Amino acid sequence: MLMTRWDPRSIWSELNRMHEEMERLLSGNGWRGFEFGVGFPALNVWKDDNNLYVEAELPGFELSDLEIVVTGDRQLSIKGERKQPEIKNGTWHRQERYYGSFSRMIELPESVDPDKVTAELKLGVLTVTLPKREEAKPRRIEVKAC
């Protein structure tokens, strides 16, 4: 899946996101989605010259709820669990948010140094920063005038 290369900023319409969301939900336990579908969480991957950045929206999680593992230098897996708040004596009118445990693994587009991977969870957004291996970094070739 990672082979596809496109710019979501130009192509991603709202409709697209909804469609993808539906597909992910349907692949799980139905649209009410009390449990995470197989494609949860949705991931975005960016890169610059030095790093790959894998991002996921994980509201309500703490870093301690997550297990982030890099296998070899090309595979990243994220596991976690979100528990439903225990409140009693009432009625649920809507339950649109996901609960339960999830596990997701992706193939990275470039080799990274597993020892230098860092993760940050801020405002419910997880960012995993994966420094590229030296050989994967782009090199500027000096062109000499002769």
Partner 1 sequence: MAETLVKREQPEVAQVERTRSGVTYSPRFDIFETDDELLLFGDLPGVAPENLDVRFENDMLTIYGRVEPRHAQDECVYGEYGIGDFYRSFTIGEAIDTGRITAELKNGVLTVHLPKTEAVKPRRIEVKAG
Q: How far is the CB of 21 from partner 1 (least distance, A)?
A: 8
Our CB check for partner 1 shows the closer of 96 and 135 to be: 96
Q: How far is the CB of 39 from partner 1 (least distance, A)?
A: 8
**8 phi and psi angles, rounded to 5 deg:** -65, -25
Our CB check for partner 1 shows the closer of 51 and 144 to be: 51
CA distance 7 to 135: 25
Q: How far is the CB of 100 from partner 1 (least distance, A)?
A: 14
Our CB check for partner 1 shows the closer of 79 and 82 to be: 82
The residues of the shown chain that bind partner 1, judged by CB under 8 A, are: 1-2, 4-9, 12-18, 20, 39, 42-48, 52-53, 55, 57-62, 85, 87, 89-98, 109, 121, 123-125, 127
Q: How far is the CB of 77 from partner 1 (least distance, A)?
A: 16
Residue type, 4: T
Our CB check for partner 1 shows the closer of 45 and 119 to be: 45
Q: How many CB atoms lie within 10 A of CB 126?
A: 22
CA distance 138 to 10: 25
Beta-strand relationship, 43-47 and 118-122: unpaired
Q: List all residues 6 or more positions away from 67 whose beta carbon is below 8 Å from its beta carbon.
A: 77, 78, 79, 80
DSSP structural state of residue 20: H
